[in-house]
Structure 1
Amino acid sequence: MTHPQHQTVVVTGSTGGIGRATARAFGERGASVALLARGRAGLEAAQRDVEHAGGKALAIPTDTADHEQVEAAAARVEEELGPIDVWVNVAFTSVFSPFWEISPEEFTRVTEVSYLGFVYGTMSALRRMKPRDHGTIVQVGSALAYRGIPLQTAYCGAKHAIQGFNEALRCELLHERSNVHVTMVQMPGVNTPQFRWVLSRLPNKAQPVPPIYQPEIPANAVLYAADHPERREYWVGGSTVGTLIANKFAAGLLDRYLARTGFSSQQTDEKCDPDQPANLWEPADSDRDFGAHGVFDSRSTSRSYQLWASQHHGLLGAIGAGVAGVAAAGLVAGRARR
């Protein structure tokens, strides 16, 4: 694996939230980071973040729903920064709304950005990585890749699609014994700017489903996944683990639970601002930088014990085996004394 300081990394959706925090984290390791997003102000600020952190940044205005723009961006990255080692797909958009209030055009746009954008990014990355037999693609997913929730039909559909696409692609690469890896990181509710710039038809302001994590937690997970891509996926946050387990064993009960709680848990007590920007068709951060964090800092946590456990499951397994061994030895000794 290329030493982190010498990596060339592409991050889509790099002007806000998880993408912004991930780009900055790679910059802290001295990587060359290509920033793909639409908003001019956001891109300029993200570039400053990466460079201030110690990395080299290349900002490329890109709509990931346009495969020609994505391919042109990938070619420019390799020309100006060198061969791409890691490609991180993050870019998305959504609509907070009951399904029957979403137009076909809006649903199509969400799907093109939030699903096909990942497909196009993966295509461009593989076009360069496979001939070299080297590289890693990290898909930023969500607990909603397995468990749909109300008011996010378009986003949940896209995340489910990414999950199936990524599994199929991983099988193909394993079949070829390729040294190119794909892995997916399933995220919890995160304090990102999306809740103030995604198109919303909700009566109140949108919020992540608690517990809410700061974006640096997912960014840490993305870097770890990029360094350890042999695992098929990573789960971030205890809420993600709980949701996926509950969905596996009690999906019908979870349907009814979310029908009762899923509307209120995704909204604050404040009325929605009728002038709130919407980034569905145009970037919300063309003239204003929103940064990595949303407006929920006071309610967000910067720790995830589950993530640490996930990254150290080998150590925990060894400790568990050791404890079991000591217990077994004690039991044998106790019996011998009888």
Structure 2
Amino acid sequence: MKNTIEQLVIIGSGPAGYTAAIYAGRAQLQPIVFEGFAAGGLPGGQLMTTTEVENYPGFAEGIQGPQLMKEMRQQAIRWGAKLVTDDVVKVDFSHRPFSIATDDLEVKTQAVIICTGATARRLHIPGEDKFWNNGISACAICDGTNPLFKDVEIAVVGGGDSAAEEALYLTKYASKVHLLVRSDRLRASKIMQQRVLNHAKIQVHWQALPIEANGDDVLQSVKIQSQAAGTITELKVGGLFYAIGHTPNTQLFQDSLDLDDKGYIKTIGKSTATNIAGVWAAGDVQDHIYRQAITAAGTGCMAALEAERWLAEIH
């Protein structure tokens, strides 16, 4: 790879990256995919931290997120994608061929599709660093089965679909789940709201925010501040899970691509094209509205088709 100029490099994995790889592979582009790392040291993006995926077409009974990513990954390999499970640390889009580099490898390429996704946000409260992976986590599917959380009370922070899903998932292991919602309502979809509010093991705390984590070697309690009353109470929990949104993984591209005020990559019109010819962006790295597996896969498809046509035109 060091001595040749590749046709296409895909940075990132997940539904967008793997779908782009499948389409590019079928188009005989032999894409190189820098998968990066997801939670637990595995490629695959955010779906590696998702439990039951019920709304991805083709799976009437649903499918586990990691299993869906495994299937997509294998399909990409089948069509000739070359996977590199490493993080890209530097890009140079100033001239073609573009340069993509990890700590150990540099690749020259005519075209790039960016699918780096987004990262779960943290609260950075006192005690968070001490108890990270010892009671505090941003991934219920990764850590929920830990014996640490078996038959103990657990708290989940957030009010959207991710928070609702994590709360419901954790009821399988915890004796009780406290859902801490910053506002006075849930932002989750109606069906997820119903499941949460009707679940006997979930207690919703409105206008509540954790401000401090405490314990000895592992998390034992969390101080909660009432946004309305301003009072502080202590909640005895053995686990605290964050589900409070994401930050787009665009640090690599701040000096070369146009980003919006939230840090997402701007794409042109109805395409996935960026402000640099030969560079496209797909999935959650450019989408802060829908943020679904199916839309990520759709934009991955779009980016691969656009790259294929563009490469045909310049040759």
TM-score bin (small chain): 0.3 to 0.5
Give me the TM-score of the superposition, normalised by structure 1.
0.33
The structure whose residues are more often strand, as a share, is 2
Give me the TM-score of the superposition, normalised by structure 2.
0.35
The structure whose residues are more often helix, as a share, is 1
